[in-house]
Amino acid sequence: MAFHDPTADALQAPARPDKGRSLWTDARRRFFRNRAATVALVALVLIAVFAFLGGFIAQYERDYVDFSLIGINATKGVPSIATGHYFGTDQEGRDLFARTVQGTRLSLLIGVVGSMVAVIVGTLYGAISGYFGGRVDSVMMRVVDILLSIPFMFVLILMLVMFGRSLLMLFIGIGLISWLSMARIARGQTLSIKNKEFVEAAIATGVRPLTIILRHVVPNLLGVVIVYATLLIPEMIIYESFISFLGLGVQEPNTSLGALISRGAGQIGNGVPWQLGFPLFFFVVMLFAFFFVGDGLRDAIDPKDR
């Protein structure tokens, strides 16, 4: 009676090659092994849910005024679930929960949209400068150096004064001035990418320079761009908060975290700490969360840089 040897079949069967893991798969696994970055990502998701869905559970509109809680009665507007003022009221008798929801949403939007504008403009500018090199690179980088020497806040304040204080101008002003550092980073990465074999092959086949930049250079900058964008968002939020703190940001009835912090700081001595505490809490948590996520992405995408 003949016995079947499974070991012999295994030796004769062709070996299956292990399925390779992509760079992004490895990066995702390294990112989620970073506990601080994972916790920060969860915090950002919760803040985004609060900012965009919190209005559905608010009992009052952001501009509704409770005249019984104005002036000397402002200390009566304490946080309370029973009254529907979950975060209390401000000195004008307006619901602080609804205003914190809107302020968080506006600060997030300004940070995300402003960084997107800065990243898109800076990446394209830096990629073009680094790819062409020579005199073109020299002229384009001198323009960046000149613009970097101009005080950023002075230009932004001047734009808001000249063209009006609006959300659109705040988006444009913060985004278009913050692309300079991104341009330098993209240019440095492009100088090394343009000498790769796939770029030389594209040049040899007659592909136009602009097509090479868009199809071959820019996609290979995505790792650096994503990390920089994540670290740029809190910087945009700080800029907006500082401008709003000075009274040049969003205007009533709209608000932002910077405006809420400014108004709350002025009332801290009047026995109403919640007017500063709640906006400041979301502001600080959001900034630290973005910084931890950015650090986690940097370590995940380029672990040799740790």
* Backbone dihedral angles phi then psi of residue 90, each to the nearest 5 degrees: -90, -175
Specify the amino acid at residue 96: L
Full DSSP string of 91-144: TTSBBHHHHHHHHHHHHHHHHHHHHHHHHHHHHHHHHHHHHH-HHHHHHHHHHH
**Assigned superfamily of 45-70+80-305:** MetI-like (1.10.3720.10)
Query: What local confidence, expressed as pLDDT, does residue 44 receive?
Result: 93
| Nearest CA among 86, 101, 45, 91 for reference residue 71 | 91
pLDDT of residue 152: 75
CA 48 to chain centre: 12
Domain boundaries, the chain: 45-70+80-305
DSSP state at residue 14: P
Nearest to 286, CA basis, from 48, 31, 34, 58: 48
Write out pLDDT tens, residues 19-43.
556 666 877 888 888 899 899 999 9
| Per-position DSSP letters for 32-69, written without gaps between them | HH-HHHHHHHHHHHHHHHHHHHGGGT-SS-TT-B-GGG
Return per-residue pLDDT of the chain as tens, 306 residues. 454 555 455 445 444 444 556 666 877 888 888 899 899 999 999 999 999 998 889 888 888 887 777 765 556 678 888 888 888 888 788 888 999 999 999 888 888 888 888 888 889 999 999 999 889 989 999 999 888 888 777 777 787 777 777 777 777 777 667 788 889 889 988 988 888 888 888 888 888 988 888 888 888 888 788 888 888 888 888 888 788 777 777 777 778 888 888 888 877 777 778 888 899 999 999 999 998 998 888 888 765 554
In tens, the pLDDT along 196-228 reads 888 888 888 888 988 888 888 888 888 788 888
Cα–Cα separations (whole angstroms), residue 247 to 47, 76, 85: 25, 27, 26
All residues at 6 or more sequence positions from 218 whose CB lies less than 8 Å from its CB, including other chains = 123, 124, 127
Report the phi/psi class of residue 271: left, alpha or beta, with left for phi > 0 and alpha for psi in -120 to 50: left
Give me the phi and psi of 303, to 5 degrees please: -65, -20
Count helices and strands (H / E) in the chain: 13, 0
Amino acid of residue 151: P
How many beta carbons lie within 10 A of that of residue 241, not counting itself? 25
Q: Are 42 and 296 in contact (CB under 8 A)?
A: no
Distances, alpha carbon 194 to alpha carbons 166, 264, 301, in Å: 41, 52, 20
Token pair of 81 as six digits: 């679930």
pLDDT of 304 reads: 53
pLDDT at residue number 4: 53
Rg of the chain (C-alpha set)? 26
Model pLDDT, residue 17: 46
Quickly count: other Cβ atoms within 10 Å of residue 230's Cβ. Answer: 20
